[in-house]
Amino acid sequence: MTVVLQFYDGGGGLRPCQEPPIPAVMASRFETFAALHVPGDPVILYNIWDVGSALAVVDAGAKALATGSHPVADANGWPDGQNVPLEFVFANARRIVDAVDLPLTVDFESAYSIDAEEGAANVAALKETGAVGCNFEDQVIGGEGVHPLELQTRRIAVIRRTVGADFFINARTDLFLKTQTYDDGLVDQVIERGKAFADAGASGFFVPRLADPSQIERVVREVPLPLNVIAFPGAPEKRVWADAGVARISHGPDPQRALMAKLTEMASAAIN
């Protein structure tokens, strides 16, 4: 049976009522966040650590939010390196998600386990907080160097299989953090990892301390993932990185460190 809605037309009669158009389905936070990664127009993630810092960065005009593991640890009395209890990581993420309307990605270090299945389960629990993505790094926390490529790609693949297609896995390699020799051979290794991470199901590629525009152009050209770099004192300006094809710029621990330095300065002026 077809139901025709009618309404009084003001002239004594009834005529059919046009059904209101169905509004377009709003993009999910996952889709919104992924769409912000545009090579040449990078999304800026000014890293936060709690609800207060999140609200401040939202007020500044942010399009998305990202925690940093180091700021979260420092602000709450733990050393960095997976020493913040998982329960605290999840609770902190959930409180931020509940307080803001922007998508949140979490620096999840090495997923708190070398075991692929256990790490993937931890990432799945992180997704349950409402976070849309995470950083997942390849350095050996508490040890030396980075994990073998075969192991790291398997870990990424299991995470992807566990969390589904929408969660943004920002696969990070710390090769540039483990040396002071930023030559073409190192870039070759970075590219090898980036391609393998892409094949394993990563959504983005994060290379902290990669800074030279010509090297960035190589990575962008050869790795089929949006590239994330991290700002630091002395790094090229945002426009230079954008022109090289960067899709995401993080700020790591520097915002929290600068704020704490300012707090110390203000407290010293008041006390002394």
Query: In the numeric block, which tokens belong to residue 188?
Result: 């070759």
Torsion angles phi and psi, residue 193, rounded to 5:
-70, -45
Q: What's the pTM value of the predicted model, to 2 decimals?
A: 0.89
Q: Residue 27: its pLDDT value, please?
A: 67
Residues recorded for the chain: 272
Mean pLDDT for the stretch of residues 195-217: 98
pLDDT at 180: 87
pLDDT at 219: 98
Q: 44 vs 40, 112, 228, CA distance in Å?
A: 12, 26, 10
Average pLDDT of the residues in 110-119: 98
pLDDT for res 90: 98
d(CA 207, CA 141): 17
**The pLDDT of residue 12 is above 70:** no
Average pLDDT over residues 48-71: 98
Specify the range with the lowest mean pLDDT, choosing from 5-14, 140-149, 165-174.
5-14
Residue 131, pLDDT > 60, answer yes
Considering the chain, what is the average pLDDT of its residues?
Answer: 92
Q: Is the pLDDT of residue 32 over 70?
A: yes
